[in-house]
Each structure stands twice: as C-alpha cells, then as structure tokens.
Chains A and B, each alone.
Chain A
C-alpha cells in the first residue's frame, strides 16, 4: 500500500530537472534562488525516499536535515546579496551583471 522507491526517485529527478531548468532560463535573482531551493528539496526527497531502503542508520534523514538547515542559511546570505545587487542595478535581473567579462 505504498509507493515504490522508483516513483519517488522519478518525482525527485523531475523536480530537480525543473529546478535546474528554472535556474537556466529565468533571469530573476530571486527566482533563480528559489530554483536552487527547489533542487535542494528534490535532493531531500531523494534522501528520504532512499532512507526507506536503508532504514537501519537513518543516514538519509540526517543528511536531509543538514541540507534543510544549510539551505536556509544559504538562502539568507543569498537574499542579502540580492538586496545589495538591487541597490546597484535597481533591479534583480541577473543579466544586467555583465561588467565582468571576456
């Protein structure tokens, strides 16, 4: 009466792919940040799903817990950088950042 691991894996991979796609096609700093969060969520999902195979040590759950916390920290720093970015460009379009090139 439950899903196979494969289903979770497919789901996680799809979300991961969509997050990656979002990161590549969107040019809004915050959306890109959310895309990364999406990818991390997918990773967590995968960990939790696989944890069901290897219940003995709960390694996957521990890992997922760490990922959640670190992702939050990352997001906080990202937002600070986003604000700094916005102050300079009056926008959060990352395509505007092309001073440094070639």
Chain B
C-alpha cells in the first residue's frame, strides 16, 4: 500500500486513464474527455507537488518497486514538470481541437498515457523499465502526430519522427545490450556497482555509453541528432507540438540524468578531459549553435520554437557537462531549467493556440502583427514566454540560465568557455524571440493583410493564466523551487 501511495502520481494517471477509456466507451452521451483528462493531470500534479513538499524521499518501500522505479525527490520533481507541461498541452488541446473541429477523445487518452510513459521513463531505475517507458511515451506521440490522417504535413512529420525514432531506439537498445554484456546487470545500480567494482570491460562500457548517449541525444533533439525536430514540430498540431517539445524532452533529459550520474557516475568515466563530459560539451556547443542560428531565418513560429528547443537542449547539456565538478548544483540547475523551459515553451504554444481561430490560425510571425495592440492582455503571456526563453528577468528563464551557467563557470576550463558561448548565443537568440514581441506590440498589419483572429475558449485561457503565473513566480521568487531542486539533486548523489 505504501508503494501505491508513494507512486500515486503514476498510479492516478494509469488507473484514471483506463477508467476514462471505459467511461468513454460505454457512456451514452458525449463525454467531456478533455476536462476529465485535465482534472486527472491536475490531480496528479497536486499529488506529486504535495509528496515533494511533504515526504520527498519515502522509506520502507519494497525492493520490488524501487529496483525498477526510483521513488525519490528527483522523481517527484520530474513528475511535477511533466504534469505541468502535459496539463498545459491538454488544456490547449481542449480549445484547439474543438475550434478546428478535430475533436476526438483518443488524443487526450494518448496524451495521458504518453505522460504516464514519460513519468516511468523519468523514474526508471532499470534499463528494461526505461525502454518500456520510452516506448510508451514515443508510440503515443507518434499516434498523436498521425492523428490528422489527411494532412500531408502531419503524416510527413509522423513518418520522419517514427522512422528516425525507431532507428534511434534500436541504437539505444544496442547500447543497453553492450552495457548488459559488460556488467551482467540491467538495473542502473547493478551496472554501476559492476563498473565501480572494476568487473566491467572498459571498451564495452565506453561503446555502450556512446550508443545510449546517441539514443538520448535523439530524444532530446540535440544537434546533430536534431534533424527530425523542426519537421516533426511543424507538422504536428500545436498542442501536440507543445507536448513533444516539453514532455518528451524533459523526460528524456531526466532519464539521461539518472543513467549518466548512476551508470556512468564513475570518476574515471566522468573525467573532464577523457570522460563523457567532453562528448556532452561538444553536443551542447553544437546544439546551441545549430538551434540559435537555425531559428534566425525562420518565419513559422512552431519551427522557431523547434530550433529554440534545440538551443535549450544545448543549454541543459552545458549543465550535464558540468556535473563532474559540481554534481549537486548542476543537477539542481538542470531540474530548475526543466521547470522554466516547460513553463516558457508551454506558455508560448498555448498562446499560439489562443491566437488563432478556425480558418485564421496563427502560423507565421507575420500573423501576429499588431495583436498586442488589439488584445493587449491576451498577447501578454506570449511576450512573457519569449522573455523567459530569452532569459530576461523577472521571468523564470533568467534564473534558469543563471544557475546553469553559474554551475558551468564553477566547473572551469572548457566548461566556463561553454558558458560564455551560451551567453553569447543567448544574445543571438534575442533576435528571434524579440522579433515576436515586436510583431505583437510594435507593429501594425498592412492594409487588408490577413491576420490571425483569437479564439474564445476557456481551456486555453486557463492554461495561459497557469503558465504565466508559473513563469513569473519562478522569476520573482525562485527560492522555494530552487530548494526543492537542490534537495532533489542531493537525493541523486546519496
């Protein structure tokens, strides 16, 4: 029973999802699935946040659970991030699907199950569980993208994401097999102990490391494993884009954190010059470059956010690269960054949903021209989101970037230079983020130009209010969240 309670955020989603499925199948009348799913995600969020505040590291759990799923502060923290992002996406979907007459209950259920998979992935303490979580999450996302079957762009996005995703999953599995071969274990703890104890063949371990890193790098869309991301984000529906860009990325990063601090946490493997930090630093630099440069020339907002997501993956990887020197601080910075990124990107995509209505969807930056003048309040969340992603105080993004780069600066050497590159490229990112703010507030549409017309819908407004509050709160009073992130970080290294 304690185990059930400790894993309540996950259990809620799974059981609730099955119940909703049943209700939807047998109910005579139309069921408001979007509301049910949002409520369920909200409940899961509350439970996760409550556990994080009350008892983040419950003890006395049966080993049959903890061997497979970690029950710790980090787990609850990622639960919070994932449910927040999923909640914003669900609420946005509730408005979007109805407005564009695409309403189908399955999509919410897929969203719910995908979130469940993401939470399993983020908590996985065993490579088998990790793989199952990964696939649960990914398969549901493929399904969500392919849901608009007659839309050539959607199907193209699904094709690219699915094929490359399966390819990357196979690569990851190969890595897992190599690790198994090297150590004989499938659980993170067993593999770690074998490596620490010197029972593992270094060459096999290093190969396994490269293969698993490649699999993760694909899921978080780090360059040069990013090719699919702009295409898939553009082709998917806006709420699904929001879901993919935050939930999938955050869950994969959380899992990467567990695997790389657990399995490869050996001082030799983590050596700043000959260990994986160098590999990760290279990925980080490439991602920041490709993401920020790629976004410069884009017109489509979803593509801008896709490249921005690649750039942010790069920033987070800067944190990963500094894990060897300041493990707890870097972990806290990474976790905090998830929350800030989830708030910022989720808010931006929810706003994008709110800005459009049937036939007049907001797609390009030009569609937003003058919107802030016609609807000053409605446009504000988008501006807040852009400033947060750029890292301007007093928004979440400022502290997130500050903590990350601070950690990298403490790591010193090439990692300090990496932080410097991050700051310099953040200046570049001002060009495309501020372009959206300028379009909203400092421009007037040309005579007779077709512009997006905002929809009227409660769901997405709720998402925007929630997201804005989160982003501003994290920027003004980061103390509590940072403490939680720190505690979560400490838990990982005990």
Contacts and interface: CB of A to CB of B under 8 A. Distances in A.
B173 A59 contact: no
A9 B181 contact: yes
Interface stretch (B31-39, B163-171, B385-393, B473-481): B163-171
Given A67-B131, A88-B152, A47 B180 contact: yes
B221 to A, nearest CB: 15
Interface in A16-44: 16, 19-20, 23, 29, 32-33, 36, 39-40, 42-43
A85 B159 CA distance: 7
Contacts of A57: 184-185
B135 A73 contact: yes
Given A9-B181, A54-B184, A42 B155 contact: no
B206 interface: no
Interface string A66-102: 1100100110011011101101110000100101111
B195 to A, nearest CB: 15
A78 B166 contact: yes
A34 to B, nearest CB: 11
A46 B159 contact: no
Interface residues of B, number: 41
Contacts of A100: 153, 156-157, 160, 230-231, 234-235
B128 interface: yes
A50 B135 contact: no
Nearest to A45: B177
A74 to B, nearest CB: 6
A89 B158 CA distance: 14
A43 B127 CA distance: 14
A83 B95 CA distance: 29
Contact of B170 (A9, A40, A60, A97): A40
B142 A16 contact: no
A20 B146 CA distance: 25
Contacts of B155: 81, 84-85, 88
Contacts of B184: 50, 53-54, 56-57, 59
B28 interface: no
B contact face: mostly helix, strand, loop, or mixed: helix
A66 B128 contact: yes
A87 B113 CA distance: 28
A43 B174 contact: yes
Interface in B135-159: 135, 139, 142-143, 146, 149-150, 152-153, 155-159
B132 A66 contact: yes
Contacts of A62: 128, 186
The residue in B131, B143, B159, B230 that gathers the most chain A C-beta atoms within 10 A of its C-beta is B159
B178 interface: yes
B162 interface: yes
Nearest to B181: A50
A60 B182 CA distance: 12
Contacts of B132: 66, 70
Interface in B316-336: none
B176 interface: yes
Contacts of B127: 63
B436 to A, nearest CB: 19
A16 B174 contact: yes
B135 A94 contact: no
A16 B177 CA distance: 12
B156 to A, nearest CB: 4
A73 B178 CA distance: 24
A77 B111 CA distance: 16
A20 B153 CA distance: 26
A33 B135 CA distance: 16
Contacts of B157: 100
A63 B180 contact: yes
B156 A46 contact: no
Contacts of B297: 102
Given A46-B181, A62-B128, A81 B174 contact: no
23 contacts: A9-B181, A20-B167, A23-B167, A32-B163, A40-B173, A46-B178, A53-B184, A54-B184, A60-B180, A67-B131, A70-B132, A74-B135, A74-B169, A77-B162, A85-B156, A85-B159, A94-B163, A97-B156, A99-B153, A99-B156, A100-B156, A100-B157, A100-B235
Given A66-B132, A85-B159, 6 more contacts: A43-B176, A62-B128, A63-B127, A74-B139, A81-B146, A84-B149
Interface of B: 127-128, 131-132, 135, 139, 142-143, 146, 149-150, 152-153, 155-160, 162-163, 166-167, 169-171, 173-174, 176-178, 180-181, 184-186, 230-231, 234-235, 297
